[in-house]
Amino acid sequence: MAILLTGGTGKTSTRIARLLQDANIPFLLASRNAETGAPSGMPASKFDWLDSSTFENPFHYEFPNGERISAVYLIAPAVTDPVPALNALIDLAVSKGVKRFVLLAGSSTEPGGHHVGQIWQRFIDAGLEFCVLRPTWFMENFSEWQHLATIKDEGKIYTACGDGKIPFISAMDIAAVAFHALTDGKPHNTDHRVLGPELLTHDEIAAKLSSGLGREIVHVKLSEEESAQRYLKLGLPDQFANFMSYLEAAAARGDEERSDNAVERISGRPPLKFDEWVQQNKKAWQ
């Protein structure tokens, strides 16, 4: 058994890699920068979703004891239509003997639906071993992405989420579920809603950050259009800026107000609460 992790330098892949490392399961990170972008001591192969000539590279990697890639973790590229690239890699992987695929999707993804929903449907139609992860919003959005700079520099979080409640989840908990989906002897052959243990508004998130960091953090409520403009300033293409602001507006309408016990049921431990996560990541905002 060996595991190929696309999105090799992303939030979830590197955390899955640590779990595999601890379990002595061979793995390979696939990323554009190969080993120069991978965490120290972790094997990586050059792989670019936008360059199909790189798709073969991971399958030429020499694993210890002659292990071969048996499962692939799929994170879609940030392009308008990722389906052709994903299908091309799946075709190649199946031809190399890969039996199992774990796809990171979104909470609103449905089989046969838009975007990676088509890949989910392909797994079903082709009879492949699979699992589709449908996490809610990442806690790491506050420590690694769009909210980090404004929390550090302004003491503010800007969203169009209004008073919508969201079961924020840590990337480590997503990784724990993905680890089992990739390595369990019996394939899951289903989807998992990967949700955190608390339904929180962004006002409540701001209050928890204020308490954990010892300084005031406030949530600034934006319109959907104002949020899209902020995402554009972060460098997102128009389509993705509009999509992110749409998701925020959907959260304001209550679309993310749901609960599930997938993390504890699959990993054997409860997911992190936000206060605990803040304490573990305080250095991010220093």
What are the tens digits of pLDDT across the range 31-61?
988 777 778 889 999 999 999 999 999 999 9
3-class DSSP assignment, residue 138: strand
Same fold, 2-135 and 136-169+196-257+272-286: no
* Rounded alpha-carbon distances, angstroms, from residue 58 to 66, 238, 276, 283: 14, 32, 37, 34
Residue 48: DSSP 8-state: B
Residue 222 has pLDDT above 80, yes or no: yes
- More confident position, 65 or 188: 188
Q: What is the pTM of this model?
A: 0.93
Predicted local distance difference test score (pLDDT) of residue 195: 96
Q: What is the pLDDT of residues 155-175, one digit of tens each?
A: 999 999 999 999 999 999 999
Torsion angle, alpha carbons of 29, 32, 35, 41, to 10? -30
pLDDT score for 37? 73
Which H, E and C letters describe 220-275, residue by residue? EECCHHHHHHHHHHCCCCHHHHHHHHHHHHHHHCCCCCCCCCHHHHHHCCCCCCHH
Residue 71 to residue 123: CA distance in whole angstroms: 13
- Check residue 234 and give its pLDDT: 87
Decide: helix, strand or coil at residue 170: coil
pLDDT (mean) for 49-76: 95
Mean per-residue pLDDT for 217-234? Answer: 95
From the number of C-beta atoms within 10 Å of its C-beta (0-12, 13-18, 19+), residue 189 rates as middle
**CB 101, CB 108: distance < 8 Å:** no
Span 2-135: which CATH code? 3.40.50.720
Exposed / middle / buried, residue 132 (Cβ in 10 Å: 0-12, 13-18, 19+):
buried
- Is residue 164 within 8 Å of 221, Cβ to Cβ? no
Between the two ends of the chain, the Cα-to-Cα distance in Å is: 40
User: Which one-letter amino acid corresponds to residue 84?
Assistant: P
* Segments making up each domain of the chain, as ranges: 2-135, 136-169+196-257+272-286
Q: What is the mean pLDDT of residues 207-223?
A: 97
Domain 136-169+196-257+272-286 part of CATH 3.90.25.10? yes
In this prediction, residue 131 carries a pLDDT of 98
Contact assessment for residue 279 and residue 285, using Cβ atoms and an 8 Å cutoff? no
